[in-house]
């Protein structure tokens, strides 16, 4: 929601197949042509009728990663449902929490708005940016957001960020 059309982006990895335990291929004499079906969840039936369960042949796939980019937006609670469970959420935090009225008039968000969106969406990590030039230091803005969503970090122009489900301090 902005005075002019603006868009956010959501990227989600496709679900990956299970990871086959290579030693099990040799242990049970699994032919190459059966590997794909096993990776997709099938059990393996041996020649003597013994069924080897998929869970004994594979490991779960890595967790899907996702990234949402939400900028130039006035706070609206429904946004959290659009970016549910993202790994990394970038959300603008143009103003501090005391400028909520100015944020509403200019169609921007506050630190608390960004943090509430992250919290309500179940995001893993929040990056905030698009700060008003009125703020000489951004640490207080990050601290405000962290009071609601502790895994908040400032997005710094020109810096790269790794999207991961592991705990990384940006």
Residues 36 and 79 grouped into a single domain: no
User: Number of structural domains, the chain?
Assistant: 2
In a domain, 53, yes or no: yes
Residues 37 and 79 grouped into a single domain: no
**pLDDT 10s digit of each residue in the chain, 170 long?**
545 566 689 999 999 999 999 999 999 999 999 999 999 999 999 999 999 999 999 999 988 999 999 988 889 899 999 999 999 999 999 999 999 999 999 999 999 999 999 999 999 999 999 999 999 999 999 999 999 999 999 998 888 888 877 666 65
In a domain, 4, yes or no: no
Domain that holds residue 144: 62-154
CATH of the domain at 114: 3.60.15.10
Question: Where does a domain end: 31, 59, 87?
Answer: 59
pLDDT at 2: 47
DSSP the chain: --SS----EEEEPPPPPPEE-HHHHHHHT--GGGHHHHHTT--EE-TTSPEEPGGGTEEPPPPPPEEEEE-S----TTHHHHTTT-SEEEEE--B-GGGHHHHHHHT--BHHHHHHHHHHHT-SEEEEE---TT-S-SHHHHHHHHTT-SSEEE--TT------SS----
Residues 115 and 126 grouped into a single domain: yes
Residues 33 and 108 grouped into a single domain: no
**Residues whose CB falls within 8 Å of the CB of residue 19, separated by 6 or more in sequence, listed in order:** 39, 58, 59, 60, 61
Residues 46 and 98 grouped into a single domain: no
In a domain, 1, yes or no: no
Residues 147 and 76 grouped into a single domain: yes
Residues 147 and 75 grouped into a single domain: yes
pLDDT at 3: 54
In a domain, 97, yes or no: yes
Residues 90 and 150 grouped into a single domain: yes
In a domain, 131, yes or no: yes
Residues 71 and 35 grouped into a single domain: no
pLDDT at 115: 98
In a domain, 10, yes or no: no
In a domain, 78, yes or no: yes
60, 80 contact by CB (below 8 A): no
Residues 55 and 67 grouped into a single domain: no
Measured CA to CA, the distance from residue 141 to residue 95 in angstroms comes to: 8
């Amino acid at each position: 929601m902005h005075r002019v059309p603006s868009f956010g982006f959501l990227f989600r990895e496709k679900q990956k197949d299970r990871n086959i335990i290579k030693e099990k291929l040799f242990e049970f004499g699994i032919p190459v042509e059966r590997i794909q079906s096993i990776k997709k969840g099938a059990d393996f039936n041996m020649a003597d009728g013994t069924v080897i369960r998929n869970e004994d042949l594979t490991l779960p796939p890595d967790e899907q990663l996702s990234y949402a980019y939400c900028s130039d937006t006035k706070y609206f609670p429904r946004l959290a449902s659009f970016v549910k469970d993202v790994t990394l959420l970038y959300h603008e935090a143009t103003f501090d929490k005391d400028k909520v009225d100015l944020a509403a008039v200019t169609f921007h968000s506050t630190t608390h708005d960004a943090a509430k969106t992250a919290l309500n969406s179940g995001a893993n990590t929040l990056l905030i940016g698009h700060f008003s030039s009125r703020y000489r230091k951004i640490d207080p803005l990050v601290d405000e957001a962290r009071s609601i969503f502790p895994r908040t970090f400032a997005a710094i122009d020109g810096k790269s960020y790794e999207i991961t489900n592991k705990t990384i301090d940006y």
